[in-house]
Structure 1
Amino acid sequence: MRNVQLRLVPARLAASLVPARPAPPPPASPGEVLAEAEALRVFLGGRPVLDGVDVRVRAGEVLALVGPNGAGKSTLLGALAADVPAAEGVVRVHGRPVSAWSAPELALRRAVLPQSASLSFPFPVEEVVRMGRAPWAGGDEAAEDDAVVADAMSRTEVTGFAGRPFSALSGGERARVALARVLAQRAPLLLLDEPTAALDLRHQELVLRLCRERARAGDAVVVVLHDLALAAAYADRVAVLRAGRVAADGPPAEVFAEELLSEVYDQPVEVLPHPRTGALLVLPRREP
């Protein structure tokens, strides 16, 4: 049997061998590009899902990704989150290719809300929200965990069932808890995939108001939406996707044109001013 020699490492040297906790990003300037895709192509199952997509996400704005089913909205969001690999082109977060960031570094820079949230264990709601604070563990910011978690739960109106198991919640309640986790992460780039899909009217409005609040506070928010009226009301900019390409990109007042939307959705659409406020209304054209 070979002799094995154990060497004791001095505590100071041992501490130096522990990977340093990554530093959070500095505050972004208004209009700064926090994420971008250039000439992005993505294949899933051997099929092109995104084909030559260019998009930029800026601090201080809500960018809505809209388009019919299968247009590539969720895939584009996943690529911006570094969860979906690019076959061609490049995706950057905070000015660097996503491949250049480690997972802990990315977790301090972007927070992701998937379409559905599920957990294998019956964690209490408060613990699920607290998972959003994991990127800050070990730093001075961890002292703020309790306050940040409480604030995120209050804003998403889930404080009332903080102690209930996540698995016992309705679909809409789970969606709001998942959003609270994302808010608790306090990343400057929020990537939200259909956050209003399971919500009632009141909470759809709540979620989009929160998106706008985060953007006004200096964050960049990308949100996948099917409701064009919500996109028109809350987004600063809209990217309309069709068959894996960007058909239009700009402010809702410029992008939401009847001819374009009717063609993209293969459904007659009318765009009207609200009779009281003048705000943009986007409706399917229905025969009397």
Structure 2
Amino acid sequence: MRFPRRGRELPEPVSPGTVAAEARAVRVRLGARDVLDGVDAGVRAGEVLALVGPNGAGKSSLLGALAGDLVCAAGEVRIGGRAVGEWGAAELALRRAVLPQAATLAFPFPVAEVVRMGRAPWAGTGCEEQDEEAVAGAMAATEVGALAGRPFPALSGGERARVALARVLAQRAPLLLLDEPTAALDLRHQELVLRLCRERAAAGDAVVVVLHDLGLAAAYADRVAVLDGGRIVADGPPGEVLRGELLSAVYRQPVEVLPHPRGGAPLVVPVRDRAEGT
């Protein structure tokens, strides 16, 4: 992807706690259905916000709206204190990096080139000199350095997911929007991805991540927003939001929430009926 080299307003450093992106009374329609209905949500610099909820709840739609990739039928989305529509494509790419659910490419680019694509928004700026460092650092963080010369389509699903995340990290935008980044990953790499989210937040970035694993959300997120039917039904610290009664109703599956024996983070366990003696 190419971006115009002139006329770009580069992002300025922000203090922890500054609102990086917010949705105000947002309604999004896909076809004849409202997938988001009057949603208010926001994420601040230095924070990891996890979006959780059942399939079809509106998690990916909210992420897409916060990215400026979905048009709102009503309400407003703001990034960096400005309505998302006021940013040009090049300026928006400097401010937010998006990881979609599926990572696909039409051509067999080698892995290193795929990661380097994340640096495209910085071409022609003073930060272009950081390209090599950013690419190498992102590949090391996601453990894909050994794959550098391999064609992207030849990778496994989990490898492609980590390469796509490396591209997002190399972009070095202050707002990261990640849609189910752990879906194709094994246990080790799921933990790796969420640790990276925490590291980016500690460095001052704002991170929004869609997750299905409530244990990961409880362990790594500063805040959890629970969506159901296109609305946010709870939003707050994991220990306050991840409650058995609420989750059982939202997921239409009985669950119980137990404190982790180390640290006390909520553990969400499905209630299962087992035949006696099995």
Counting matched residue pairs gives 271
Counterpart among 272, 278, 281 of residue 264 in structure 2: 278
Select between 156-165 and 139-148 the one with higher mean Cα deviation: 139-148
Superposed counterparts of 1:103-252, under 5 Å? 103-252=89-238
Q: Distance in 1 between matches of 2:269 and 2:19?
A: 32
Q: Secondary structure at the match of 1:144?
A: helix
1:44 aligns with 2:30: yes
Structure 1 runs of 4+ off > 6 angstroms?
A: none
CA contact (8 A) 2:157 2:184 kept: yes
**Equivalent residue letter for 2:21:** A
Indicate if the aligned counterparts of 2:225 and 2:232 stay in contact, CA closer than 8 A.
yes
Matched residues in 2 for 1:31 and 1:70: separation? 30
When normalised by structure 2's length, the TM-score is 0.96
**Which deviates the most, 271-280 or 152-161?**
271-280
Pairing partner for 2:248 from 248, 259, 262: 262
**What amino acid maps onto 2:93 in structure 1?**
A
Distance 2:86 2:9 in 1: 15
2:58 is aligned with 1:72: yes
How many Å apart are 1:25 and its aligned residue? 1.0
Q: 1:232 touches 1:281 (CA, 8 Å); kept in 2?
A: yes
- Give how far 1:21 is off: 4.1
Structure 2 counterpart of 1:229, one-letter code: G
Quick one: distance in 2 between partners of 1:225 and 1:152? 21
Identity over aligned pairs, percent: 74
Answer yes or no: is the 8 Å Cα contact 1:229–1:283 preserved in 2.
no
> Which structure has the larger Rg over C-alpha atoms?
1
C-alpha distance in structure 1 between counterparts of 2:48 and 2:102, whole Å: 21
Q: Provide the secondary structure at the position in 2 that maps to 1:215.
A: helix
1:57 lines up with 2:43 in the alignment: yes
CA distance in 1, matches of 2:95, 2:5: 19
Aligned mates of 1:224, 1:236 — CA distance in 2 = 14
**TM-score of the two chains, using structure 1 as the length reference:** 0.92
User: Structure 2 counterpart of 1:141, which letter?
Assistant: C
Distance 1:24 1:242 in 2: 37
Stretches of structure 2 lacking an aligned partner (at least 5 in a row): none
Question: 2:174, 2:192 → 1: CA distance?
Answer: 20
Output the CA distance in 1 between the equivalents of 2:135 and 2:246.
42
1:28 maps to 14
SS at match of 1:180: helix
